[in-house]
Amino acid sequence: MKKNLDKVRVRDVITDKKAIAGLVDGEPRDLSYVFEKSAKVEPLNFDDERGKTIYWHSTSHIMAQAVKELWPDTKFGIGPAISNGFYYDFDTSHRFAPEDLVKIEKQMKKIIKTNEKFLSRIVEKKEAITFFKNLKEKYKLELIKDLDEDISIYENGSFADLCKGPHIPSTGKIKAFKLLKIAGAYWRGNEKNPMLQRIYGVSFPTNVELEDFLKKLEEAKERDHRKLGKKLELFSIFEEAGSGLIAWHPNGAIVRDVIENFWKKEHTNRGYQLVSTPHIAKAGLWRTSGHFDYYEHMTTLKFGDEDYVLKPMNCIYHILIYKSRIRSYRELPVKYAELGTVYRYEKSGVLHGLTRVRGFTQDDAHIFCQEEQTLQEVTEVLELSQYMLESFGFSNYNINLSVRDPKDKAKYAGSDKDWEHAEGVLEKALSNKKLKYKKTEGEAVFYGPKIDIDLLDALGRAWQGPTIQFDFNLPGRFNVEYVGKDNKSHKVIMIHRTVLGSMERFFGTLTEHYKGAFPVWLSPVQVVVASVTQKSTDYAKKVAEELKEFRVNLSLGDEQIGAKIRESSKTPYILIIGEREENAQTVSVRARGEGNIGNYSIKDFINLLNKNINERTNGKNKLAIAK
């Protein structure tokens, strides 16, 4: 809607009663925000991600106010909204315990009931320093040092914060909330700084939404890959060996091997050439690439008098392989693929099981091609990405297209022609495949536009997956060229891409998606052969021998058969072997999630097993026996 008024507040032109803020020419603003020109004004509510951010950040302020009122000596760090709620960091002599969360919630309810307004004001830096010095807020003063412009302060009741906003109109807008947990966090993520106490929470406009979220949260705890990794003996992280470094147990190594073999087969079938490169490289390469001075996750080491870097990415080695001889246009596209292990220094506070580590394997590939080949190559990567995700059971995903900010072209490498071509190719490929996507200006990295695909798991959570990234930086820095039809040298177009991301993160996501109950083709143990009594031991061994082409465990102990079944609950099939089965030369088949599906001959069971493996299903037993 267009309004031509000298002065008007956002709330005066929004009729949506659910609005908690507004968009003024696309920028989130308080409902009390006054604008003095014609502007496009739209309502912003909780259903919009930007609305959720405002709602959750406002709740963090209410929590901070409650903590201050309960423990007046508290000093404040930061309290942002995050992907699923909010947190606030506190410095206080009181050590928070789980029972304190109940006290804080009770105090928050009082604050919400008063319906205190969120009030904002803009002050000069000098005034902000005086204000927070009087409050003895040392962390806020440190943050102010890094600010140049006029500073925004928000107040609700007895609480004041250094904050850009926007916020909801008043505390009474918060209808349902829950404080979730207490954790520790270094100030500004630096291990050399003080350890603060962090409280996490979440809030919603209705109790129904809160209850639904909490149910999913409990389910997520049951699916936590760290918990399942230990229970199923998939992997370990040994602190004595180093944080963020994964040791794969036999079960995990089996699953990973199946994934990697499938990945290699699908890539070679599509014209990729597999390469393998070292874990370290001379520091000079990373100086040439531009990473050495700006990429903070690199780790250096010395060999003799020379500096080396633990490889943080594979692309530079792939460039060197490409440049090992002169390339003709007739060879292009050249496509190198590698399951390459890389190392990045991540701060200890962000490490998280398999999903945030310091050593990981990227399912990496780089495409070197001519400009006219880019649409075909991007389209084929999209097709491969879809095929790979769906093969592993992920049928839902969000697609994001990140392009440069047209108002700030100077901060991006490459010419206008480069960017216009690349962005056009990415959009056309997505449109040709009839894929829905969200286009975001200013989200591209400096060296090129990209497509990111976030896969959605069984709980609807988004996880980073495939990426298709143009690069206008490295080909120029390393003079990556080909000889064209005109017998002259031309710069190649270079495309980075992954279809799974890192093997570690993908494995963690996969484990949580299936709750550890992997499909037959991926399961570390596909069949458990369990004897009812000692009398059936020999026949059980014979059955296992006939199934030796599969991944089979024998369960021959003295335990009751019920205990054996419970112990193998994540295994796709359990074959019960008793006297009756031995006499009939059959097996009694229990399918995961279905129970007993009948007696099969060994041949018929092998046919069923092969059908599930070949179709990569999670057990379609109604297709039953192939006669």
Give yes or no: 362 in active site: yes
CA 76 remoteness from chain centre: 29
**Is there a contact between 220 and 459 (Cβ–Cβ < 8 Å)?**
yes
Q: Which of 65, 107, 197, 362 is catalytic?
A: 362
**Residue 274 token pair:** 């597999």
Q: Which of 173, 315, 469, 590 is catalytic?
A: 315
| Structure letter (DSSP) for residue 445 | B
C-alpha torsion angle, residues 316, 317, 323, 328 (rounded to 10): -90
**Residue 545 token pair:** 């021998």
**Of residues 29, 37, 40, the one with CA closest to residue 1:** 40
For residue 598, which phi and psi values (nearest 5 degrees)?
Answer: 120, 175
Q: Which of 30, 89, 161, 364 is catalytic?
A: 364
Q: Which of 140, 496, 505, 592 is catalytic?
A: 496
**Is there a contact between 608 and 594 (Cβ–Cβ < 8 Å)?**
no
What CA–CA distance (Å, rounded) separates 238 from 503? 19
Q: Which of 68, 267, 291, 450 is catalytic?
A: 450
Q: Which of 61, 291, 335, 366 is catalytic?
A: 366
Give yes or no: 136 in active site: no
| Structure letter (DSSP) for residue 448 | B
**Is there a contact between 168 and 54 (Cβ–Cβ < 8 Å)?**
yes
Give yes or no: 315 in active site: yes
List Cα–Cα distances, 432 to 172, 374, 424, 537, in angstroms.
47, 14, 12, 59
Give yes or no: 505 in active site: no
Give yes or no: 364 in active site: yes
Give yes or no: 267 in active site: no
Strand partners, 464: 454
Kindly report whether the peptide bond that precedes residue 572 is cis, defined as omega within 30 degrees of 0. no
**Residue 293 token pair:** 């001075």
Residues 333-362 as b/e (b if ≥16 CB within 10 A, e otherwise) read bbbbbbbbbbbbebbebeeebbbbbbbbbb
Active-site residue set: 315, 344, 362, 364, 366, 450, 496
